[in-house]
A and B are shown apart, each in its own frame.
Chain A
Amino acid sequence: MKTVGILALQGDFDAHRKAVERAGGLAVEVRSAKELDACDGLIVPGGESTTMLKLLDIENLTEPLRQFAARKPVFGTCAGAILLARSVTNPAQPSLNLIDIDVERNAYGRQIDSRVTRVKADGHEMEAVFIRAPKILRVGEGGKVLATCNGDPVWVEQGRHMVTTFHPELTPDSRVHCAFLAKL
Chain B
Amino acid sequence: MYLSDEFRLKVGLAEMLKGGVIMDVTNVEQAKIAESAGASAVMALERVPSDIRKEGGVSRMASIRIIREIMDTVSIPVMAKARIGHFTEARVLEALGVDYIDESEVLTPADEEHHIDKKNFKVPFVCGARNLGEALRRIAEGAAMIRTKGEAGSGNIVEAVRHIRTIVKEMKHLTILGKEELVHEAKNLGAPLELVEWVAANGKLPVPNFSAGGIATPADAALVMQLGAEAVFVGSGIFKSEDPDSRARAIVKAATYYNDPVKLLEASEELGEAMRGLDVSKLPESELLQTRGW
Contacts and interface: CB of A to CB of B under 8 A. Distances in A.
A128 B38 CA distance: 28
Contacts of B285: none
Contacts of B94: 112
A115 B16 contact: no
B261 interface: no
B15 interface: yes
Contacts of B36: 54
Contacts of B5: 115-116
B256 interface: yes
Contact of A111 (B75, B100, B249, B256): B100
Contacts of B260: 31
A30 B252 CA distance: 17
B76 A46 contact: no
Nearest to A90: B75
B253 A46 contact: no
Nearest to A93: B75
Interface string A118-130: 0000000000010
Contacts of B40: 10-11, 47-48, 51
Interface string B156-199: 00000000000000000000000000000000000000000000
Contacts of B256: 8-10, 31, 55
A131 to B, nearest CB: 5
A58 interface: yes
Interface in A24-76: 31, 46-48, 50-51, 54-55, 58
B13 interface: yes
B61 interface: no
A112 B18 contact: no
Given A51-B39, A91-B75, A11 B13 contact: no
Interface stretch (A12-20, A137-145, A153-161, A176-184): A12-20
**Chain A contact residues: over half helix, strand or loop, or mixed?**
loop
A50 B75 contact: yes
Interface residues of A, number: 35
A106 interface: yes
A129 B13 CA distance: 11
Contacts of A55: 38, 252-253, 256
B9 interface: yes
A14 B231 CA distance: 12
Given A11-B19, A116-B5, A131 B75 contact: no
Nearest to A129: B12
Given A116-B8, A129-B8, A131-B9, A12 B18 contact: yes
B237 interface: no
B249 A58 contact: yes
B122 interface: yes
Contact of A48 (B8, B9, B41, B124): B41
Contact of B38 (A14, A31, A54, A90): A54
Given A50-B35, A54-B37, A58-B253, A105 B75 contact: yes
B146 interface: no
Given A111-B99, A112-B97, A116-B8, A47 B13 contact: no
A161 to B, nearest CB: 21
Given A54-B38, A170-B8, A9 B97 contact: no
21 contacts: A9-B256, A10-B255, A11-B40, A12-B12, A46-B16, A48-B40, A48-B76, A50-B75, A51-B39, A55-B38, A55-B252, A91-B75, A111-B100, A112-B99, A112-B122, A114-B9, A115-B9, A129-B12, A131-B9, A131-B16, A170-B12
Interface of B: 5, 8-9, 12-13, 15-20, 35-41, 71, 75-77, 94, 97-100, 122-124, 230, 249, 252-253, 255-257, 260
Q: Which 8 A-B pairs have the closest CB atoms?
A: A54-B38, A116-B5, A111-B99, A12-B15, A48-B40, A10-B19, A10-B20, A51-B38
Given A51-B40, A105-B75, 7 more contacts: A8-B19, A10-B38, A31-B256, A47-B40, A50-B35, A131-B12, A167-B12
